[in-house]
């Protein structure tokens, strides 16, 4: 009789498993459809860009953004809403100008780079030496740069996956320091951008001890034309800025507690800070809005998912520090972090994604991939390689992570420029992002999937 009962129980359990998986998929699909018409993400993004605007670290606006984040999460029903303070460097822009002097005088469109050293109060004037690629600059004799303004005009390639940015990123991030080593008076680069406007694009550079700025792509080409004439070119440059090595910053956190396993946590977010020319709509107000809305929707069913979903609005991605601070503060919690993810490539539609290795055959991931099939997303079998700057600390601690790839074809027309504004966001594409993230958060949070165990199984 006991053997019969065990057999009956086992049969019942096996019968229940497909039903549970089917329920998971059906709910994920329903939440996907709900997300496609839900206004939460747009409303969050409109609120942030309208009420706060640009949010550089160390500015009064960033303090306002912190308060905004707390209020917004509370208003949306998140629990355990709090801020986690940390200290990081803050570079803030002052007066800036650049102009050609001599035979062809005119103003140039520039934006100083984060960590740039200011010019003397009255500015500086020097002859330029121009290189059309970063590699040509590095290979040139240092003697020809001494006392001059180095100009590097390497072009960025447009790519759906954003790889053109990574390929040329050193032109901005390392260029000023390399020019300083060679005795240059200042450093100018063609903006890391795929646009064709006179709007320059800023960003952080490694400290070089010399003034450094980005030229609009149009003005960089103007300098190339002048250089082709073989005549000396002089620029008068004025860059004023302030740098505070220890500025207050905050990660803003809110949770939706799981109904059965509240100590098992999914971490998702975007970065709250931004550069100052625009209003930080695509970089990364969109990511904040996507993560917040997706978490809210994933927990909006008849009952909460089994695990906790935590949203983090990281407070200093552009100038660095928030990911490291979060990773350090939550190192002991790492075993309880089920998975981490960040949205930080604007609001372009998600066209491909990767989840932790060896997990696609699991019921939760089958339910997820089935739910997003109508959204035209390629699910790769490759393990994720880069989940986002602000989850690098968690990844270093050993947390599993995902990589959702947005269409970056137009992102670098706008990124770090005055064109980073709300009107550039397509509401339908924003909603598609929310739908994908909602389906993922729900299926993982309402399941027992263990990405670590699966990865260990793969390793064996």
Q: What is the pLDDT of residue 30?
A: 97
Same domain assignment for residues 144 and 284: no
190 Cβ contact partners less than 8 Å away, ≥ 6 residues apart: 152, 153, 154, 155, 171, 214, 215, 217, 220, 221
Per annotation, catalytic residue among 96, 264, 317, 342: 317
* Residue 240 forms part of a structural domain: no
Q: How many domains does the chain have?
A: 2
Same domain assignment for residues 170 and 256: no
Same domain assignment for residues 220 and 83: no
* Residue 15 forms part of a structural domain: no
* Residue 257 forms part of a structural domain: yes
Q: How far apart are CA 24 and CA 444, in angstroms?
A: 10
Same domain assignment for residues 174 and 318: no
Same domain assignment for residues 318 and 411: yes
Same domain assignment for residues 306 and 174: no
Find out whether the peptide bond into 284 is cis, omega within 30 degrees of 0.
yes
* Residue 6 forms part of a structural domain: no
* Residue 50 forms part of a structural domain: yes
Same domain assignment for residues 406 and 360: yes
Of 230, 263, 297, the position where a domain reaches its end is 230
Strand-pairing partners, residue 235, are 100, 126
CATH number for the domain harbouring residue 309: 3.40.630.10
Same domain assignment for residues 361 and 410: yes
Q: What is the pLDDT of residue 456?
A: 85
Instruction: Tell me how far CA of residue 117 lies from CA of 174, 177, 239, 370, in angstroms.
Output: 14, 11, 8, 52
Q: How far apart are CA 460 and CA 456, in angstroms?
A: 6
This prediction's pTM: 0.94
* 276 close to 89: Cβ distance less than 8 angstroms: no
* Residue 254 forms part of a structural domain: yes
Q: What is the pLDDT of residue 1?
A: 39
Tally of residues, the chain: 460
Same domain assignment for residues 110 and 78: no
Same domain assignment for residues 156 and 30: no
Q: What is the pLDDT of residue 239?
A: 98
* Residue 4 forms part of a structural domain: no
Q: What is the pLDDT of residue 2?
A: 37
Residue 178 appears among annotated catalytic residues: no
Same domain assignment for residues 296 and 323: yes
Residue 429: domain span:
24-90+246-459
* Residue 53 forms part of a structural domain: yes
Instruction: Reduce the DSSP state of residue 26 to 3 states and report it.
Output: helix
Q: What is the mean pLDDT of each run of 10 residues along the chain (460 residues)?
A: 38 42 90 98 98 98 98 98 98 98 95 97 97 98 98 97 95 98 98 97 96 98 96 97 97 98 98 98 98 98 95 98 98 98 97 96 97 97 94 97 97 97 98 98 98 79
343 Cβ contact partners less than 8 Å away, ≥ 6 residues apart: 268, 269, 270, 284, 286, 287, 290, 291, 388, 404, 406, 433, 437
Same domain assignment for residues 408 and 280: yes
CATH number for the domain harbouring residue 139: 3.50.30.30
């Amino acid at each position: 009789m006991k053997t019969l009962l065990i057999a009956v129980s086992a049969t019942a359990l096996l019968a229940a498993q497909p039903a549970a998986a089917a329920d998971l998929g059906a709910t994920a699909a329903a939440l996907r459809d709900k997300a496609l018409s839900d206004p939460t993400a747009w409303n969050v993004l409109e609120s942030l860009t309208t009420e706060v605007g640009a949010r550089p670290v160390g500015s009064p606006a960033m303090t306002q953004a912190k308060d905004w984040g707390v209020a917004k999460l509370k208003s949306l029903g998140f629990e355990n809403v709090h801020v986690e303070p940390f200290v990081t460097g803050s570079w803030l822009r002052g007066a800036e100008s650049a102009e050609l002097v001599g035979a062809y005088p005119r103003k140039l469109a520039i934006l100083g780079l984060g960590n740039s050293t200011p010019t003397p109060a009255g500015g500086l004037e020097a002859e330029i030496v121009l290189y059309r690629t970063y590699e040509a600059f590095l290979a040139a004799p240092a003697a020809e740069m001494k006392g001059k303004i180095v100009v590097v005009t390497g072009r960025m390639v447009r790519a759906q996956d954003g790889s053109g940015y990574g390929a040329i990123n050193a032109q901005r991030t390392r260029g000023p320091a390399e020019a300083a080593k060679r005795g240059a008076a200042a450093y100018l680069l063609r903006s890391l951008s795929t646009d064709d406007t006179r709007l320059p694009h800023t960003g952080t550079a490694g400290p070089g001890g010399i003034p450094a700025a980005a030229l609009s792509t149009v003005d960089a080409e103007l300098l190339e034309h002048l250089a082709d004439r073989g005549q000396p070119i002089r620029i008068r440059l004025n860059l004023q800025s302030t740098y505070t090595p220890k500025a207050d910053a905050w990660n803003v956190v809110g949770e939706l507690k799981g109904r059965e396993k509240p100590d098992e946590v999914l971490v998702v977010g975007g970065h709250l800070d931004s550069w100052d020319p625009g209003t930080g709509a695509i970089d990364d107000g969109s990511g904040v809005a996507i993560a917040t809305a997706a978490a809210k929707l994933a927990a909006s069913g008849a009952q909460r998912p089994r695990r906790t979903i935590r949203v983090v609005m990281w407070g200093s991605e552009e100038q660095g520090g928030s990911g490291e601070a979060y990773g350090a503060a939550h190192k002991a919690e790492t075993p309880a972090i089920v998975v981490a993810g960040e949205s930080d490539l604007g609001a372009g539609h998600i066209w491909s994604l990767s989840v932790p290795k060896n997990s696609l055959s699991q019921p939760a991931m089958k339910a997820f991939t089935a739910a997003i099939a109508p959204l035209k997303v390629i699910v790769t079998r490759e393990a994720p390689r880069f989940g986002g700057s602000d989850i690098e600390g968690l990844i270093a601690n050993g947390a599993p992570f995902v990589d959702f790839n947005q269409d970056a074809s137009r992102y670098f027309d706008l990124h770090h420029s005055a064109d980073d504004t709300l009107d550039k966001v397509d509401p339908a594409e924003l909603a598609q992002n929310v739908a994908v993230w909602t389906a993922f958060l729900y299926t993982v949070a309402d399941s027992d999937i263990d990405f670590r165990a699966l990865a260990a199984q793969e390793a064996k």
